[in-house]
Each structure stands twice: as structure tokens, then as C-alpha cells.
Amino acid sequence: MKEEVKVSEEMLRFIKESPSSYHAIANAAGIYQAQGFTALDEKKAWKLKWGGKYYVTRNDSSLIAFCLPEDEKLVKGLHLAAAHCDSPTFKVKENPERKAEACVMLNVEPYGGMIHSTWLDRPLSIAGRIAYEKQKTGELETKLVNLDEDLLVIPNLSIHMNRDINKGAAYQPQTDLQPLFTAASEEKKEGGSLFLELVAKAAGVKPEQILGHDLFLYAREEGRLFGAKKEFILSPKLDDLQCVYSLVKSHSEVTAKKYVTLCAIFDNEEVGSGSNQGADSTFLEDVLLRMRESLGVSASKLKEWIAAGLLISADNAHAVHPCHPEKADPTNRPRLNGGPVIKFNSAQKYTTDGVTAARFRSLCKRAGVPCQTYVNNSDVAGGSTLGNISTSHVSIPSVDIGLPQLAMHSAVETGGTQDTLMAIKAMKEYFSE
Ligand code: ZN
């Protein structure tokens, strides 16, 4: 099998096993564990050693892993990379069951900016985590849960009742984007909740033990290769689990030599990053401070390393859409399978400048990987990402990159079969410098 196909299939398996950000972080932690990284706990003291490899999670939904060179004297700076593990979806509200005619709907609210129509008429399920009370002690614990069955559908209104639907329909989330859960006759008459029963069963606890939940919908569609030569991939959550997988895989497999290497996977990018565990939190600063203190490194030495360091912020990029070439910049035309994309924006929504772009180009050259460039068409407002949010906490030279894709924020997105392997090669070159 060709190497790029093997890597793409591994990446698609990672996405399949990551139906929520909590699962993505658990799977990333599993990859680090398998490579001999030691788990740290934010609630306990850290005793770090030079030459060590560590990772720490926050809120079960963000992770920072780092690898230390053999000796402080070898260190020339920090090599950081960051990506985000959340994707647009719907969050299950509290008390979600709602009787509507002969059906029970599940009350959900949008999380992030998805393409609404792509979530309709396809099988959906639920994954996330619960907080529950342990039976004898009453202690609170969290547990990941995946209902892992075809459970829900958000049905469209038929064209006969909505003649204008093909003229471009606006969906109202509270009215139109509510999934069908069960037939009303199946509803429990008094007390009890069939929804909580199913969640409890999947988690292996009793419904009354569940005191809180963070549960999200996910599309049941499994990632696959397609195209006449299988040159494309179709999968939920390519933005940004394709980058998450590329960073975690490359970072976990190489030993730090002259740079302290760090990989940060943040939650909540799709809703602005402003949470306890998002890129706009102190998570990265806190990890750097505790690392420095545990190793006995002076504050000014850490500042030297930051100044000599680099952040590669990796969040997927728009390839030129073949039916809408006019939406793309006239001279920067990323394509699927063309390799990692450097993203530029004069207003600094993307942090890249001439020097950091040159640093990324130089490492792609050394890795034997092509790279492409993205700039917004100036008449089309673009998106934003986590690079400039992260650098507002740890000010470090930074470059924004991503892998080229189509249909960003659709329930299933399209990418290139070769791009994941190219990203891994470039990032391995970076982390092993
Ligand atoms: Zn993204």
C-alpha cells in the first residue's frame, strides 16, 4: 500500500474514534503514552527531568505535550505547534426531551458555525462526557461516553411544503435543527428520561448518578478515500483533526535535540477559544511556568528560548473550490494534495510574516515537501484561528498553516489523500531540529 494511503487511513481511524473533543484528547493521550510520554496532573507537583517526555490535559478536552532535550546547555529555543480538537456541531441542552406531535425531539443548540443544511437527513449519534456521583463515596468523577448507534435524524421539511428550499433556505436552529429522537409512545409517562437512561447505559452507571453532561451530536458517516484514483478523502471533522493527528503523530515520534518541543491541542476554537482550556486561557503559559520551575530554569532564560522559538499554528485552509474559483485570491491558489498551506493576512488574523513564512518554507524544503500559500480574496471575509489568540498569551514568532480542504464546516469535509503525510514529514523535520 502506498504510504500516503496508509497514513490517511490511520488519520481517518483517529477521527472515527474521536466523535467529541474529549475523545480526541483521550486518543491523543493514548498516542503519547504508547511513545513513552509520562502523564502529568495539573493538581499535583511536577518533578521533571532533562531528556524527559511529558503530557498534561485540562478539562479532558485540551492537551499539551512536551519533549525536553538531554541537557539545558543544548537548548536553543522553543519549537511549539498548536491545533484545535473541536468542530462545529450541536450540544445537547439540559432536559432535552421535548414532545412534538407523535415524536420526541431532542433539544439541542448549535456549537460553532456549521453549514446547517449538511446536518439534515443523515444519521447522527451522541458523544461527550458525563460527570457522575460514585455510588458509595458520593465522589464526583467524569467519564467519556459514546452512544455509538444510529440514534437521531434532523429531518428536512419536504419540498412540497417549502417550495423555496432550492433558492437557498435559512434554517432557524430552534425550529429547523432539532433531531428526532423517538416515537412519543415510547416516552416515559412520569419522571425518568429515556435519553438519560441511554446515556447511563452507555457509560455503565445509573441515570440518577449522572449530575452533569457535555454531550454533542456527531455525524455517523465514516471517513473514506474517494475519487477515480482515491486521491481525495471525505470525513467529518477534517478541520481540525487532520492537523491534530499530524501534529501528535510527528511530535510523539521524534526526540527533542536542540529545542524544547511542545504540541498544544486546544478545545473551543470554534466558539472563540475563550474558555478555561481554550487557546485564550493561560494553559500554555501555566505549562511553561511549571516546566521552568521544576527544571530550575531562570525566568529570563525561558524568555530567551521564547524569543528564539517559533509557533506553528495548524488549522485547515481553504483549497480553491473548482466551481467557485472567483472566491479565492487571484494569485494564491491552494489545491488538494498540494501540501501544507501557509496562511497570510495583513490584519494579522493569521500571524504569519515574511520571516516566519521563510522559516516554514525552509523546513518544508529540508523535509522534501511542497508548500502552498493562502491569502483571502480581499472582497471575501475570511475566518480566524488560534495562532493570534495563543500569541497574545505567549508572545512568540508565529506562522499559521493548514492542510487544504473543501467544504469547511460541513458535516463531512473533503481533503487530499497525500496532504497528511506531507504535514507529518514537515513537522517531524521541525520537531527533530
Ligand atoms: Zn479550524
CB 64 within 8 A of CB 279: no
Whether 63 and 130 map to the same domain: the answer is no
- The C-alpha cell at 136 is 458509595
> 155-169, 186-200, 282-296, 299-313: lowest mean pLDDT where?
186-200
Is residue 169 included in any domain, yes or no? yes
Cα–ligand 1 centroid distance for 20 (angstroms)? 15
Is residue 361 included in any domain, yes or no? yes
Q: How many angstroms separate the CA atoms of 269 and 212, rounded?
A: 23
Cα–ligand 1 centroid distance for 99 (angstroms)? 35
Cα–ligand 1 centroid distance for 41 (angstroms)? 27
Count up the domains in the chain and report the number: 2
Q: How many angstroms separate the CA atoms of 80 and 109, rounded?
A: 34
Per-residue pLDDT at 1 = 75
Q: Which domain holds residue 206?
A: 89-219
Whether 97 and 77 map to the same domain: the answer is no
**Residue 296 carries which side chain, given as an amino acid letter?**
G
Segment 11-15 shows an average pLDDT of 98
Is residue 141 included in any domain, yes or no? yes
Cα–ligand 1 centroid distance for 405 (angstroms)? 11
Of 144, 153, 154, 151, nearest in space to 194 by CA: 151
Q: Which CATH number goes with the domain that contains 372?
A: 3.40.630.10
Cα–ligand 1 centroid distance for 385 (angstroms)? 6
Question: SS3 for 180?
Answer: strand
Is residue 421 included in any domain, yes or no? yes
Is residue 227 included in any domain, yes or no? no
Whether 255 and 403 map to the same domain: the answer is yes
Whether 38 and 165 map to the same domain: the answer is no
If you write DSSP's letter for every residue of 183-223 in order, what string do you get?
EGGGS-SSS--HHHHHHHHHHTS-GGGEEEEEEEEEE-PPP
Q: How many angstroms separate the CA atoms of 173 and 171, rounded?
A: 6
Please give the model's pTM, rounded to 2 decimal places: 0.96
- The C-alpha cell at 415 is 481533503
The predicted-structure confidence for 348-406, as pLDDT tens digits, reads as follows 899 999 999 999 999 999 999 999 999 999 998 877 788 888 888 889 999 999 999 99
Q: Centre a 10 Å sphere on the Cβ of residue 385 and count the other Cβ atoms it contains.
A: 29
Whether 72 and 139 map to the same domain: the answer is no
Whether 57 and 115 map to the same domain: the answer is no
Cα–ligand 1 centroid distance for 198 (angstroms)? 31
Whether 122 and 13 map to the same domain: the answer is no
Q: How many angstroms separate the CA atoms of 107 and 92, rounded?
A: 6
Per-residue pLDDT at 327 = 95
Per-residue pLDDT at 183 = 93
CB 154 within 8 A of CB 180: yes
Whether 44 and 150 map to the same domain: the answer is no
Of 317, 424, 336, nearest in space to 374 by CA: 317
The predicted-structure confidence for 74-112, as pLDDT tens digits, reads as follows 999 999 999 999 999 999 999 999 999 999 999 999 999
Q: Decide which of 390 and 342 is more confident.
A: 342
- The C-alpha cell at 332 is 494564491
Whether 98 and 147 map to the same domain: the answer is yes
